């Protein structure tokens, strides 16, 4: 291998990877496609020099490749934020070669904000958490379809919805038309195995995180159950990778967006960034704190008394609670 220091950009695809290698002066030394295999990529770069930094745009499968290159080739890998890279692409012409060249150049000048490369155990937990989220979404859609049919037939049932008794009454309603009754029966039949699958995933989440110190600490917090704890653990990973709670809150999309111009100073709602499911989980936790935790309930009442809308109060509680959580968990050593 040459002793020349080089910088590498990888444009990832499921079948191939475009590899661009530039030297410290920005001169292109190689730019070619090779199979999606770490050995083939390492062979292309080895002919040019020793990589100082290597960037690959974050996408499905990129983290796995980055892990392989870091472990097998010993390269310093960076995941590049796809949204940031897209904004920097000024040319109307796009190709895999130009994308790889852009990544290599940005890495060379140190202008590429990296995305945290989560270790494999955290990525495995994310897969489980997101699988459960998919199942919960399917369950919600089934319930919405049943509710829509009932509204369409102008049928209103007293009592708590979706209990066993309620479902039994819905399945035998005389007010429903023949086809509506048949469709609702089919939807309710699909609902039972779906709920059983959700319970199975939750049990697996419990067993997988049984000895996780971060999850254990999260479960000690008021208003935090298993699903909230594992979601925070999976999507945030390590709390100590953020310098402070304010940075963590911004990552989670809980800080107001600045919309100032000239003499006008204003906020424009929460920033449109971060994982929407993570933000939704934190907002739900804030609702529970407002209802059941005396300290946060008092703060919420003070903000409401000052005329703040409830949605703003909930977001403010979630923001402050998360910043305090960072203070508690940043010093907690983890194996991840």
Decide: 85 and 106 in contact? Cβ < 8 Å: yes
Q: What is the pLDDT along the chain (336 residues), one digit of tens a residue?
A: 567 899 999 999 989 999 999 999 999 999 999 999 999 999 999 999 999 999 998 888 889 999 999 999 999 999 888 777 777 666 667 788 888 998 999 899 888 877 888 899 999 999 999 999 999 999 999 999 999 999 998 888 887 888 888 888 887 888 888 898 899 999 999 999 999 999 999 999 999 999 999 999 999 998 899 999 999 999 999 999 999 999 999 999 988 877 666 666 666 678 777 789 999 999 999 999 999 989 999 999 999 999 989 998 999 999 999 999 999 998 874 444
Decide: 149 and 173 in contact? Cβ < 8 Å: no
Q: What pLDDT, on the 0 to 100 scale, is given for residue 335?
A: 44
Decide: 22 and 68 in contact? Cβ < 8 Å: no
Q: What pLDDT, on the 0 to 100 scale, is given for residue 225?
A: 94
Decide: 177 and 184 in contact? Cβ < 8 Å: no
110: Cβ contacts below 8 Å, ≥ 6 apart: none
Crossing angle of helices 310-329 and 276-292, in 10° steps, is 100
User: What b/e readout covers 63-98, taking b as 16+ CB neighbours within 10 angstroms?
Assistant: bebbbbbeeebebebbbbeeeebeeeeeeeeeebbb
pTM for the model: 0.85
């Amino acid at each position: 291998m040459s002793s020349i220091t080089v910088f590498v950009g990888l444009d990832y695809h499921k079948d191939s990877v475009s590899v661009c290698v530039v030297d410290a002066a920005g001169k292109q030394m190689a730019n070619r496609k090779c199979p999606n295999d770490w050995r083939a990529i390492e062979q292309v770069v080895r002919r040019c020099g020793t990589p100082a930094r290597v960037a690959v745009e974050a996408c499905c499968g990129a983290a796995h490749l980055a892990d392989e290159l870091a472990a097998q080739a010993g390269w310093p890998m960076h995941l590049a934020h796809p949204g940031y890279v897209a904004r920097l692409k000024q040319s109307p012409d796009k190709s895999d070669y130009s994308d790889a060249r852009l990544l290599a150049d940005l890495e060379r000048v140190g202008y590429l904000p990296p995305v945290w490369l989560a270790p494999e155990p955290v990525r495995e937990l994310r897969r489980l958490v997101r699988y459960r989220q998919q199942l919960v979404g399917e369950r919600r859609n089934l319930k919405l379809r049943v509710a829509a049919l009932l509204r369409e037939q102008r049928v209103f049932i007293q009592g708590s919805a979706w209990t066993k008794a309620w479902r039994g009454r819905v399945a035998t309603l005389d007010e429903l038309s023949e086809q509506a009754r048949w469709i609702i029966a089919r939807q309710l039949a699909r609902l039972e195995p779906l709920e059983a699958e959700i319970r199975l995933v939750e049990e697996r989440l419990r067993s997988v995180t049984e000895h996780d110190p971060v999850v254990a600490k999260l479960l000690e917090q008021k208003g935090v159950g298993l699903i909230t704890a594992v979601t925070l653990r999976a999507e945030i990973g390590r709390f100590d990778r953020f310098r402070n709670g304010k940075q963590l809150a911004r990552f989670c999309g809980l800080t107001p967006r600045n919309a100032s111009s000239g003499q006008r100073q204003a906020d424009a709602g929460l920033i449109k960034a971060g994982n929407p499911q993570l933000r939704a989980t934190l907002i739900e936790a804030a609702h529970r704190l407002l209802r059941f935790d005396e300290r946060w309930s008092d703060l919420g009442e003070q903000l409401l008394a000052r005329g703040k809308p409830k949605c703003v109060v909930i977001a403010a509680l979630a923001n402050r609670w998360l910043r305090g959580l960072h203070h508690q968990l940043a010093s907690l050593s983890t194996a991840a």
